[in-house]
Amino acid sequence: MSESASSPASAVDEIAPEKRDFIRQIVREDLASGKHAAIRTRFPPEPNGYLHIGHAKAICLDFGIAAEFGGDCNLRLDDTNPAKEDPEYVVAIQDDVRWLGFNWHDLRHASDYFDVLYLAGEKLIKQGDAFVCDLTPEQIREYRGTLTEPGRNSPYRDRSVEENLDLFRRMRAGEFADASRTLRAKIDMASGNMNLRDPALYRIKHVEHQNTGNAWPIYPMYDFAHSLSDAVEGITHSLCTLEFEDHRPLYDWCVDKVDLAHSPELTTSLTSKGLPFEADKPRQIEFSRLNFNWLVMSKRKLLQLVESGRVDGWNDPRMPTLQGIRRRGYTPSALRLMVDRVGISKQNSLLDISILEGALRDDLDAHAPRRMGVIDPLKVVLTNLDANHEETLTFSNHPKDEAAGTRNVPFARELWIEREDFAEVPPPGFKRLTVGKDVRLRGAGIITCDEVIKDADGGIVELHCTLDPDSRPGMEGANRKVKGTIHWVSAKHGVPTEIRLYDRLFTVPDPDSEADGKTYVDYLNPDSRKTVTGYVEPAAADAQPEQSFQFERVGYFVADRYDHTPAKPVFNRSVTLRDTWATKA
């Protein structure tokens, strides 16, 4: 499949018309100097879990930079660890990348290159750059030395080329048990960089692979597979996170020693399978990982939350997976805006979650139509209207965007208002509805509360109010000043709606801290989801799944991707209007 890389116009472009981070500077210089005629990047997830917010940064950089400079970007599934990988993840990864607004040039798999990687292993053996080692995993660890002590050479390091070739071929033929041997690079057991102490290139693992089935009893190690996959695809700028900085010398070693451009037997093996080889030598460039407080982002921990049933799956709207935050109501443009605001550096840091939530608020404030929804309903009866009074009001969809148009909002004698917008005994400074005081019903007129109707236990059942006829839209008193304005939904027309009020998944900003022997599961927020039944105006119930609204005065909500239908609406709270945690924390 071959589509051209593209990035849709977004709020990002408004904010940073020209980005000048160090990676884009390198790309600019490489194009200006003629080092590369065109650039190519790749996004290389391992299909061992769902992508998360951190990956959004890598995706935006890999695809975004390629698009900005007229190059292209491959999606490569780094599937060298079959025991942990699953086609379910492969499907979700593609869905996520497209959702973020990007198309890949080619979809590749590291497993597409198993043949050429194997031949590269043989080539290294023939050059005297690799050997088959019989040390057990424990012994290898022992021989490896420490940060302060050099390692020791494996007793198998000086095997002849013939013996190594024979053993490697028999490894490939499946003659040996798992972990009984490895193919190792012959570099330097005294290197200050542990990654260069004769790292393993291949291991024996009799496991079925999702793409190659049982064809391979040996699998290439990450550094070997990754660097050579980049080289095969003609990746010019291989962007990755900082933890790979120490791997760069090994990355370069693999690329240089295998030297695809001068290995016809290797490149023929590629072209014979319809995989072109493009000769640009890849350069690895590292950038800082994206980390936010209040979240955990490691796939292992997310998997544990799912498997232990603490969340409702990978796409639970409280999860930081792209599938989760998408369902929560995060938009691709909000994520691109966040990535842009965060910028790129060489310094890992823990960012404040307000940057993420702020980008969502700003994006939705600019683009989400306004609607009225009541999440904790209290009945108001306008006693001076006829029992069957009904009218249609016209509301603008967006206060700052005339082009967003208008909608019809039904109004009638009985309304729902928010329970907290009424106080029988108002606290100081209360500006909303109380007995004997005026409040404005958004876009409809001014009401006065005359009477509070209670049940036998003293619970408030409904309010009887009078609507001031002179305060109606278009009337002389329409602009009369009152202290407060509240939202409402016509009781007759409002659609009962399941409203899922999501909040942060953890109660502390650093769930990963492991202080006092606790772990992130000890800090789960028991109130991270509350489900209530509210009422929304018909124009909100009518939403398509995944459509976002600002419910005026309440927050930003999205029609649930899976459960919402206009007949049975389900809305998820994406984010509150303001940061309610800033004062709590």
55, interface contact from Mg ion, ligand ATP, none, CB < 5-8 Å by kind: ligand ATP
> CB under 5 A: which stretch of 13-21, 43-51, 137-145, 507-515 binds Mg ion?
43-51
**Of all residues in the chain, what percent are helix, strand and coil, respectively (each to 5)?**
35, 25, 40
Contacts for 247 with CB less than 8 Å, ≥ 6 apart: 195, 223, 284
Q: Give the whole-angstrom CA distance, residue 445 versus residue 427.
A: 24
Active site residue 472: no
Binding of residue 364 to ligand ATP (CB under 6 A): no
Minimum CB distance to Mg ion, residue 37 (Å) = 31
Q: What is the largest CA-CA distance in the chain?
A: 101
Mask for 44-83, x = binds Mg ion (CB under 5 A): --x-------------------------------------
Beta bridge partners of 534: 497
Strand order in the sheet with 130-133: 130-133, 182-185, 200-204, 218-220
Write the CB contacts of 435 (distance below 8 Å, at least 6 apart in sequence): 424, 449, 450, 451, 452
The residue range among 55-63, 381-389, 399-407, 470-478 that interacts with ligand ATP, by the rule CB under 6 A, is 55-63
Dig out the tokens for 403 from the structure. 């082009």
* Shortest distance, position 61 Cβ to Mg ion, whole Å: 16
Residue of the chain from 180, 195, 212, 241 that contacts ligand ATP (CB under 6 A): 241
Report the helix count and the strand count for the chain, using DSSP H and E: 16, 25
Query: Out of ligand ATP, Mg ion, none, which partner does residue 332 contact, by CB within 5 to 8 A per kind?
Result: none
Judged by CB under 6 A, the residue of 183, 204, 290, 372 near ligand ATP is 290
* CA-based torsion, 554, 556, 559, 560: positive or negative: negative
Q: What is the 3-state secondary structure (H, E, C) of 456-473?
A: CCCCEEEEEEEECHHHCC
The CA distance from 356 to 281, in Å, is: 36
Q: Does 341 bind ligand ATP (CB under 6 A)?
A: no
Taking CB positions, which residue lies at the least distance from ligand ATP?
Answer: 54
* Least Cβ distance, residue 527 to ligand ATP (angstroms): 27
Q: Please choose, out of 52-60, 66-74, 121-129, 353-361, the segment that lies near ligand ATP by the rule CB under 6 A.
A: 52-60
Active site residue 170: no
Catalytic residue at 289? yes
Residue 256's SS3 state is helix
Q: Name the catalytic one among 184, 299, 318, 500.
A: 299
54 binds, options ligand ATP, Mg ion, none, Cβ within 5 to 8 A by partner type: ligand ATP
* Separation CA 286–CA 292 (nearest Å): 19
Residue of 144, 159, 237, 299 interacting with ligand ATP (CB under 6 A): 299
Residue among 338, 320, 291, 334 at smallest CA distance from 506: 320
Say if residues 11 and 366 touch (Cβ distance below 8 Å): yes
Closest approach, Cβ 112 to ligand ATP, in A, equals 17
The catalytic residues are 46, 289, 299
Q: Which residues bind Mg ion (CB under 5 A)?
A: 46
List interacting residues with ligand ATP (CB under 6 A).
44-46, 54-55, 57-58, 240-241, 289-290, 297-299
